[in-house]
Amino acid sequence: MEEPGPAAAPPEGRGRDERSLEALSLAGGGGAAVAGRQLSEGRRATLASALELEGTVLREGRLTQFVANNLERRIRLSGAPRGDPPAGGGGSSIPAIDPGALQDVVALAGQVAAQVDELLRNVHCGLQALTALSVGCIQTYRDGVESLGEAADLSIRAMYALVARCEELDRAMQPVPALAKRIRDMKGTLERLEGLCK
């Protein structure tokens, strides 16, 4: 937490905390050192000395770190219901542990571990099957693409060959109109000869 600036006015809750910390400091013998300083410096010193009574204070520039003594006991007391009195003399408020319950927990943990191992094996087998299926699908897709490419190439070549044959046929069919004209002329001549013979 950062130390408050000298010009900042502390809120009401912080003032109560500082007054309580000042009382702790005076109870611990720090009141004589605090009395001769200015108001803001006196509050800082009161806060620091009160924190030093309750734990370890580390300062890095404007940052002050505080580690409380008996942290586990304080956590236990903070978790206890408000109506229950705290355990006296630093004793633990945690009830005694049943060895049978511990054995049951160990047995259940072993069962859970076995089930997790089985689940992981099943997942591994499923992933292997899915991977093999994916590889097969990819290979099939690759073969299909290659076959499609080859078929398209063959189709293009066949189309070019057909176009070339059609051009050759068109060139070969160019004398046909003249031949048809000659056939019509011959047919007309034959018709006239038949008319003369009658």
Per-residue pLDDT reduced to its tens digit, 90-134: 455 666 777 888 888 999 999 999 999 999 999 999 999 999 999
As a dihedral over the C-alpha atoms of residue 127, residue 132, residue 134, residue 140, rounded to 10 degrees, the angle is -170
pLDDT band for 45, please (50, 70, 90 cuts).
low
Q: How far is CA 155 from the centre of its chain?
A: 49
Domain boundaries, the chain: 99-197
Percent of the chain with pLDDT over 90: 32
**Is the Cβ–Cβ distance between 46 and 21 less than 8 Å?**
yes
Q: What is the pLDDT of residues 141-159, one digit of tens each?
A: 999 999 999 999 999 999 9
Q: Which residue has the higher pLDDT, 139 or 35?
A: 139
Strand 55-60 and strand 63-68: pairing?
antiparallel
| DSSP structural state of residue 2 | B
3-class DSSP state for residue 59?
strand
The answer to whether residue 31 scores a pLDDT higher than 90 is: no
Q: Which residue has the higher pLDDT, 9 or 123?
A: 123
Q: Which residue has the higher pLDDT, 31 or 114?
A: 114
